Amino acid sequence: MASGEGFLTDEQREVLKIASQNAETPLPSPRLSSSPKSPTSLLSDHQLKDPAGGKAPTCGVGVRHVRRSHSGKFVRVKKDGAGGKGTWGKLLDTDRESHIDRNDPNYDSGEVVEPYQLVGSTISDPLDEYKKAVVSIIEEYFSTSDVELAASDLKDLGSSEFHPYFIKRLVSIAMDRHDKEKEMASVLLSSLYADVISPNQIRDGFVMLLDAADDLAVDILDAVNILALFVARAVVDEILPPAFLTRAKKTLPESSKGYQVLQTAEKSYLSAPHHAELLERRWGGSIHVTVEEMKKKIADLLREYVESGDTFEACRCIRELGVSFFHHEVVKRALVLAMEIQAAELLMLKLLKEAAEEGLISSSQMVKGFAREEKRLRRYKEEVVTIIHEYFLSDDIPELIRSLEDLGLPEFNPIFLKKLVTLALDRKNREKEMASVLLSALHIEIFSTEDIVNGFVMLLESAEDTALDILDASTELALFLARAVIDDVLAPLNLDEIASKLSPNCSGSETIRMARSLITARHAGERLLRCWGGGTGWAVEDAKDKIMKLLEEYESGGVVAEACQCIRDLGMPFFNHEVVKKALVMAMEKKNDRMLDLLQVCFDEGLITINQMSKGFTRVKDGLDDLALDIPNAKDKFSFYMEYAQKKGWLLTSFGSSAMEAPPIATAS
């Protein structure tokens, strides 16, 4: 029954029902003539007419899937335009299953896209791979002690951007091992520095260690102290600048273990007297050649080469050292000698050229040696100019000495002397006097006689250039030389040594002759002490007299507290070694050990430090031969005093020992 409202008749509902049931049935191939009618053809046989005379509704079928045939019938259209019965189908007909026959003569594997099978795999992190690899390198190094192999393996590993993690891993593993491995780790870091691992990467590695100090302390007993030793050793080995400690402190909370590490390194290790030697011997006792011994051997062979000029012999000695990874030290020291002694310049350049051509010193070691020298020298010169200017303003010798020790570059001491005197020459008499007084203090504190000699050699070799800017520079230099002799900074024989190191045509020879004339003149001592108007220099002599008087008063029955106050009133703590020296000599002469009580009180009150004690004892020890002329048992007395001082803690137990352990440096296998 038709309805004016557009409802389907019963017959139409039946047709639609059949069409919906067959919608799930796959369409047969249009090539098969016996196929049953599709749902769309069924619909076309029973057209849905609009009772109102309009277009027939397409109930249940999307409009875009219905089209009118040429006969005027509505036809159900396949999706994607594949057409219906009797059509070609769509362009790429995917409705039919296709089977690939690999035995077909026309089969072409290149034209067939095989289905892909997804296989699960773990994504590797380059950093994780690097960390695993370096553990093997470190463990192998601890087993073999082969520095060159470790360096080669680290280079071959690549991923140089991860080298700070190597620093962290190496040190953290060594911290939980014996002293042998700790020493080996320090030696390896020094060997890899600048050659394999850049200075910035060394710094970043130690920053990572400081950040991880709290975690390390959980697993490693005394982690703070051990890591502080590694930091201090890195400063002594010149792979970390002294300023690292100050800068790193600013980035760490004061309550952190990392901050405690820096505090311990600075106050307990780097501020101690002779800290460099102590740190380098802290993990000693191995079978390897020590760092200090190796440096001494290099210095000795280069000096012998300067005297002999035998390049072949020098190369042979370098080869026999057997530490090719340490050849950068040869380069560095050769360059320092070339700067200190003008006559040695051509010889050193010849040696380096020969060593490079023979392949004895590799290009990387050569570059490392030059880089260490150039960068450190430039930085050193900039720093010391500031230090000297501050000294001229403050007259604070202890502060200047601390600043020099913080720089940690004792091989440049002759350069400091040259800079100090050159700057003083262009100033007033006050600064000249201060420079002479400072040289006296430096000689006792941190400069060797060799440093002083080489510094004056550098000054005299550049005297002609200095004279272009400074009027009467030659005469002023002669006064500095003569004053150094009067102040016991140089011995008269050292003037001959200086003269022998000058080139034949050097004008500095005339300056040395003038200095000799000044020294041999009548009342030379008093005149030279007042050559620049007295001032601080005369105050030193005055202080010596005051020290002698206060000690005589104390020896004759004076009070300890008064003697200590007199020493304090001198206001020259850097000169307290003179108190120690005179007290020991007086005790020997008077056969009165009461002087030891005074030294004990001075030490307990912090008035005289271990450093000043050591210098005072050293001065007495150096003069024992002369003292023995007047005091027959001087050597026995000194031995007794030294043992007493060591028991009381005034001196380190290593003081006076000639066979002290030192840190090992791995030799080439």
For the chain, residues with pLDDT lower than 50 are: 1-5, 27-64, 68-71, 73, 79, 91-92, 94-95, 285-288, 536-537, 658-669
Calculate the CA 290 to chain-centre distance: 20
192: enclosing H helix or E strand: helix 179-192
CATH fold group of domain 291-361: 1.25.40
Q: What is the predicted pLDDT for the residue at 111? A: 56
Q: What is the predicted pLDDT for the residue at 287? A: 39
How many Å apart are CA 641 and CA 629, to the nearest integer?
19
How many Å apart are CA 489 and CA 486, to the nearest integer?
8
Could you tell me which residues are beta bridge partners of residue 193?
Answer: 197
The region, left, alpha or beta by phi > 0 then psi within -120 to 50, assigned to residue 41 is: alpha
CATH 1.25.40.180 fits 126-281, yes or no: yes
Q: What is the predicted pLDDT for the residue at 63? A: 47
Calculate the CA 514 to chain-centre distance: 46
The Cβ of residue 83 has, within 10 Å, a number of other Cβ atoms equal to: 15
Could you tell me which residues are beta bridge partners of residue 289?
Answer: 665
Whether 318 contacts 301, CB under 8 Å: yes
Whether 260 contacts 224, CB under 8 Å: yes
Condensed to tens digits (0 to 9), the pLDDT of residues 105-132 reads 666 665 555 555 666 566 667 888 888 8
Write the DSSP symbol of residue 558.
Answer: -
Domain ranges of the chain: 126-281, 291-361, 376-529, 540-648
Q: What is the predicted pLDDT for the residue at 255? A: 93
CATH fold group of domain 376-529: 1.25.40
Q: What is the predicted pLDDT for the residue at 376? A: 74
CATH 1.25.40.180 fits 540-648, yes or no: yes
How many Å apart are CA 387 and CA 380, to the nearest integer?
10
Place of tokens 């017959």: 11
How many Å apart are CA 354 and CA 157, to the nearest integer?
32
pTM attached to this predicted model: 0.43
Dihedral, CA of residue 541, residue 544, residue 545 and residue 551, to nearest 10 = 180
Q: What is the predicted pLDDT for the residue at 326? A: 76
Question: Burial of 499 by CB count in 10 Å (0-12 exposed, 13-18 middle, 19+ buried)?
Answer: middle
How many Å apart are CA 37 and CA 43, to the nearest integer?
10
Could you tell me which residues are beta bridge partners of residue 67?
Answer: 75
Could you tell me which residues are beta bridge partners of residue 665?
Answer: 289
Q: What is the predicted pLDDT for the residue at 30? A: 44
Place of tokens 């020290």: 547
524: enclosing H helix or E strand: helix 524-529
